[in-house]
Amino acid sequence: MAKAQGNCNMNHNTGILQRYIEDFLDYLLNVRGYSDATVETYEIALRQMAEVSHFYEEDGVWVLDITPFRFKIVKNSKKTIVKKLSAVRSLVKYMEDQCHLLVKLISDESIKVPQSLPKPIEEKYIDEVLQKATVEEKLLVSMLYGLGLRISELSGLKLEDIRAGWVEIHGKGNKVRQLPLLDSLQELLQIYLKNQKPKKYLFEKGNAPMNSAQLRYKLTKLFKESGLKATPHQLRHSFATHLLNHGARISDVSELLGHETMATTQVYTKLGSVKKMQEYMRAHPLADVTHQPSEE
C-alpha cells in the first residue's frame, strides 16, 4: 500500500501512471494469482494506453483521459477493444480500491455516432480552399476553423477584443473565454487589417458588423467554388475533431469551444468508422500548413 501511495511523490504524471500499472500487474500476478499469459495481455493493453493518454490531478481527483487511446485502437476488432477497455477499468478499480485514490475515467464508453453530428471536413479540402481564397476569405475560414468559433461569435467580434496574441470571445449566455492565436493567424490578421481597415468589428459592411447570414454566405460560396459543401458549424466540428484525434485533452478542447460541460464535447469522440478515424488522426494543419502527417 505504501508503495502505491508513494507514487504521488513522482514529478511526472506519466511516470506516476506507469508505476501504478506496474503495481497493478504485480498485484494480479502475486495476489490474485493470474497466469503469466493473462498478466501479459493486461500489460500490453495498459502500456499502450499509458503511452498516449492524459493522466493529471484536478481538484483532488486524478483524471485519466483515454480519448487518444480510443483513437489509437479503433482499428482493432470489437472483441479486442472490449478487452483493452476492460483492462483499463480494472486498473482504475485497483487504484480506487487498493490505493484509495479518487479517479475519474474519461472516454471509456462505447462509440456510437449521433445522427445529428455533422461530418467534419477533411484537412486536405480545407487547405485546398485556403490556397484559392482571398485574404478576407482566408481569415473567415481560419477564424472558424483555427479557433472553433460559432458564426454568431465571429459576427460580433470587435477589434478591441483582439490583442497581444489572444482573442476574447463573448459566447452563449454572455460567457467570455480567451483563445490563443496561432502565429499564422496573427500574420493573416495583420495583412487583413492593413488592407481592409475595419473600424470597430473584424468583419464589417458599411458601419455595421456583417451578420451571421452574410458571413455564412461568403463561406458556403467559397467552398462551393471548389465543389464542396460546408457550413460554419462544420468547421467548428472539424476544429474539435482534429484536435482530439491528435491527442488534445478533452477538457482543453471543451474550454476552447466554450462548452459548459465536457459531456457536450465528448460527442466529438464518437466518430463512425475506422476509415473516418484514420482520416482525422492528424495535427491541426493551421499550426504548420506544410505539415502532412503520414498514415500509421
Of 3, 158, 224, 233, catalytic:
233
CA 189 to chain centre: 24
Indicate if 172 belongs to the active site: yes
d(CA 249, CA 12): 17
Of 70, 268, 280, 282, catalytic:
268
Q: With beta carbons less than 8 A apart as the criterion, state whether 245 and 277 touch.
A: yes
What DSSP letter does each residue of 218-239 carry, written as one string?
Answer: HHHHHHHTTT----HHHHHHHH
Of 172, 175, 200, 291, catalytic:
172
Q: Which grid cell is 133?
A: 481564397
Indicate if 32 belongs to the active site: no
Please name which of 240, 290, 276 lies closest in space to residue 130, comparing C-alpha atoms.
290
Indicate if 150 belongs to the active site: yes
Q: With beta carbons less than 8 A apart as the criterion, state whether 73 and 48 touch.
A: yes
Of 54, 259, 282, 284, catalytic:
259
d(CA 8, CA 107): 23
Where are the strands (E) in 84-165, listed by range?
A: 103-106, 162-163
- 12, with CB counted inside 10 A (0-12, 13-18, 19+), is exposed
The secondary structure of residue 197, as a DSSP letter, is -
Of 54, 72, 84, 150, catalytic:
150
d(CA 117, CA 233): 10
Of 72, 84, 236, 284, catalytic:
236
Q: Which amino acids are annotated catalytic?
A: 150, 172, 233, 236, 259, 268
